[in-house]
Structure 1
Amino acid sequence: MTWRVVATSAVGTSHTATGTACQDSCLAQVETDPAKPPLLTIFVADGAGSAPHGGTGAELAIEAATAFVGQHYTQAVEFALNDHWAVEFIQAVRAKIYAAADQQGAKARDYACTFLGVVASPFATLLMQIGDGGIVVDVGNGLEVPITPMAGEYANMTNFVTDENAIDVLAVAALPARPEKVAVFSDGIQRLALNMATSTAHAPFFTPFFTVLATATAAQEDHLQAELARFLQSPAVNERTDDDKTLALAYWVG
C-alpha cells in the first residue's frame, strides 16, 4: 500500500529574462517503516518576489517541514493529523526561517514565502496552507479544493509563513480518509489548474497527470519528473504564465 509521487519546479520566463533563479521549492515523498503505515508528505513553498531571500526561505521551509514530519514518524507510534499538530508544524517551519534570518543579521520577512502542505496516512489526510497556490485532493468524492487559495489585502498580494500573523491565517483541512489523488501547486499555474471564479479544480488539467501516474511501470517512474519538468517549461504553459511553477502529484496505487 503506497502512493506514487512526482514533483518538480521550473523557473518562470520573467525570472529567466532577469537572470533570477527559481524561487519555488517542493518535495513529495512517502515515508515507510515495516512496522507502520506509509505516510505521504507533499510540500510546496514559493519565495516572495519582493523578498531578497525568498527563494532561500522556500528551501528552508521545505527542509523544516521534512524534518518535522520525519521526526514524528520515526519517534511516535502514532500521531493525530489535526489542527493542533498543524500549528506545531508551522511553528517549526517558522522557527527555522527566523533562526536563519537571525544568523544572517536579516529580518524574517527577507525570507518570505508561501507554504502548502499535505500529510496523509492510509486513514486520514491533513492539508495546510498559508498564501496562494492550491491543493486539490480526491478522497473518494472526486477532485476537491478544500482550502480556498488565499489573497492578501491588496491585488497581487498574499500571506506568507514568515508573517507575524501566520498562525492566525493558517488554513487547515482534516479529512477522515486517505487521498486517492493529490495535486499541490504554486500560484504560477494556479490559473491553469483551478476555475478561479469558483475555486474548483479544472479536471481536464489534472486527468492526464493522474492517468500517467496510475499506469506508469516501475521502469517509467524514473522518467516522470523529467516529463513533468518538460511540461512546466513548455510553450503551452509559458504562454499563459511567466512566473515560477511548481506541481507535486501523488496517486494511490494500493
Structure 2
Amino acid sequence: MWKTVNYEVCGRGHKKDSIPCQDKTYSSYIKNVNIIALADGAGSARLSHYGAEVVIKAASEYISNNFDAVINNEDGKEVKINILNYLLDALKNKSTELSCDLKDLASTFLMVAVKDDVFLIIHIGDGVIGYLKGHELKIASRPENGEFANTTTFVTSKDALSSMKLFRGKTDNIHGFVLMSDGTSDSLYNKKDATLAPVITKMMHRNAILDHDKIFEKIKQSFDSVIVNNTLDDCSIAIMSRKSEILCDYQDMNDLGKCDLLGIVYGTNSYKQQISKYDYIVNYLHKPRTLEQVSRQLYIKKKYARKHLDKLLATGLITRVGHKYAQYIK
C-alpha cells in the first residue's frame, strides 16, 4: 500500500516581504490512483499561489479520471496536449474569477501517479523528481531552467508543451517517489552531481511505516527549523512510499536503523539492551495495554514505563487507544 505525505512552508524572503507561500503540494487517492503533486508559483507572478493550487488539483482530478487512457495512449504528444489543455482551462477559469491575466497565475508543475504496478511522471519547469529503486536513490527528472539564471518554464509559458516531460513505467523494485521545489533542492539535491541527499531514503522509510501525523510533524519540524534556513525561497516536498524489504517494519530493521529511529547511540555498551527493551514493549503491545500492565510486565516503576512509552509514541511506532497503548497498525 502506497502512503503519502506532503508539506510546504513560506520562505524567509517571502515572509520578510509579507508574500504568501507560492509553493503548493497535494496528495490524493481516487479511483485506485495514488497521486502526489507539487507546484512552485512564479515569483514574478502576483497571484501565482492561486495558480499553483489550481494546477495541482486540476491535474490530480484529470489523471485520477483518465489514468488508464493516458497510460494506454501511445501518442505521447496527444497525451501532453490533453493534460496541458485541461490545466490551462482550469487556470483560465481562475483568471476570470480573479480578473487577472493568465500569466499572473504562472507556476511549475510536478506529479507522480501510481495505479497497480504502473507509474506516471509529469514535469514542467524546475524542481526535482526522484525515486528509490532497490537501495539506490535515482533522479527521474531534473530541473528545466531557461536560458538565463533564475528562469524556468511554467504551465502558462508558450513553450510549456515542448518542455513538458512525461514518463511511464512499472513500479517493479521501486519503493518510493519524491517531488521537491527548487527551494528544497538547495538542501536535498546536489546540482553538480545530480544526486539526492541520503536523508530522502530515511523520509521515505518513515513515511512507509509510521503514522501519517507523526511523519508529517517530523518533516514539518525539519523544514521549519533547518531546510527553510538554507534558502530565501519557499520550500516544499511530497513523498509517496510503500513498505517493502528495503523500507521494512520496525521488527525487521537492523540495530543501526532501530538506534537511529529511537535516538539511541549506536555502539555503546548498553545499546543492544536498550533496543531489546523497546523490542519487547512493541511486541507486548500487539494488543492494547494500560500503563500499569506495561509497568508490571517490565518490572519497572510507572514513571519509567511512561518514559519508554512516550518515546515510542513520539516515533509513531505505537499509538493511544483510549487510556491504553498499542502497536500502530499500518
| TM-score interval (norm. to shorter) | 0.7 to 0.9
Change (3 A) 1:169 1:196: same
Please say if residues 40 and 119 of structure 1, whose CA atoms lie closer than 8 Å, have aligned partners that are also in contact. Answer: yes
Offset of residue 80 of structure 1 = 4.1
Q: Deviations over 1:205-242 (max 9, x none)?
A: 313212312331xxx322322322221111x2233112
| Partners of 1:11 and 1:103 in 2: CA distance | 25
2:246 matches 1:252: no
> Per the alignment, do residues 5 and 152 of structure 1 end up closer, same or farther by CA in structure 2, a change over 3 Å counting?
same
Structure-1-length-normalised TM-score: 0.86
Determine the structure 1 residue equivalent to 2:46: 52
- The equivalent residue for 2:69 is 79
Aligned 8 A contact 2:209 2:243 in 1? no
Aligned residue number for residue 193 of structure 2: 198
Contact 2:153 2:160 in 1 (8 A): yes
SS in structure 1 at match of 2:86: helix
- CA deviations 1:136-161 (Å, max 9, x no partner) are 01244722112221111100111100
- Whether the 8 Å contact between 2:27 and 2:37 is mirrored in structure 1 is yes
The 8 Å contact of residues 9 and 228 in structure 2, kept in 1 or not, is answered as: no
Mean CA deviation greater in 7-16 or 139-148 = 139-148
Q: 78-87 or 174-183, which moves further after superposition?
A: 78-87
Label 1:183 to 1:124 Cα distance change in 2 as closer, same or farther (>3 A).
Answer: same
DSSP-derived class of the 2:69 partner: coil
Does the 8 Å CA contact 1:147/1:172 hold for their aligned counterparts? no
Q: 1:205-224 to 2 correspondence within 5 Å? A: 205-216=199-210, 220-224=211-215
| AA at the equivalent of 2:193 | T
What does residue range 1-254 of structure 1 map to in structure 2 within 5 Å? 2-32=1-31, 38-72=32-66, 78-81=68-71, 83=76, 84-140=78-134, 142-177=136-171, 179-202=174-197, 204-216=198-210, 220-234=211-225, 236-253=226-243
Distance 1:225 1:238 in 2: 16
- The 3 A distance-change label for structure 1 pair 15 and 224 is same
Task: Tell me, yes or no, if the aligned pair for 2:183 and 2:236 is still in contact at 8 Å.
Answer: yes
Give the partner amino acid of 1:148: R
Aligned residue for 1:243, secondary structure, equals coil
Hey, which of these two has a bigger chunk of helix by percent?
Answer: 2
CA distance in 2, matches of 1:44, 1:199: 20
Deviation string 1:158-185 (CA, Å, 9 cap, x unpaired) is 1100112211110122223354101101
Name the SS of the counterpart of 1:153 in structure 2. Answer: coil
In the other structure, the counterpart of 2:280 is none
**Contact in 2 for aligned 1:4/1:250 (Cα 8 Å):** yes
Question: Deviation per CA, 1:42-74, whole angstroms, max 9, x where unpaired?
Answer: 11001111101111100111121122123336x
Report the alpha carbon displacement of residue 20 of structure 1 after superposing the two structures with TM: 1.2
Which AA in structure 1 matches 2:2?
Answer: W
Q: Is the 8 A contact 2:126 2:181 kept in 1?
A: yes
- Three-state SS of the structure 1 residue aligned to 2:185 is helix
Q: Which runs of 5+ in 1 are unaligned?
A: 33-37
Worse overlay, 87-96 or 52-61? 87-96
2:231 maps to a residue whose letter is T
Q: Where has structure 1 moved over 4 Å in runs of 4 or more?
A: none
Structure 2: gaps of 5 or more residues: 245-330
User: What corresponds to 1:35 in structure 2?
Assistant: none
Q: Identify the structure with bigger relative contact order (alpha carbons < 8 Å, sequence gap 6+).
A: 1
Kept in 2: contact 1:147–1:173 (CA 8 A): no
The answer (yes or no) to whether the contact 1:25–1:58 under 8 Å persists in 2 is yes
Confirm or deny: 8 A CA contact 1:86 1:128 kept in the other structure: no
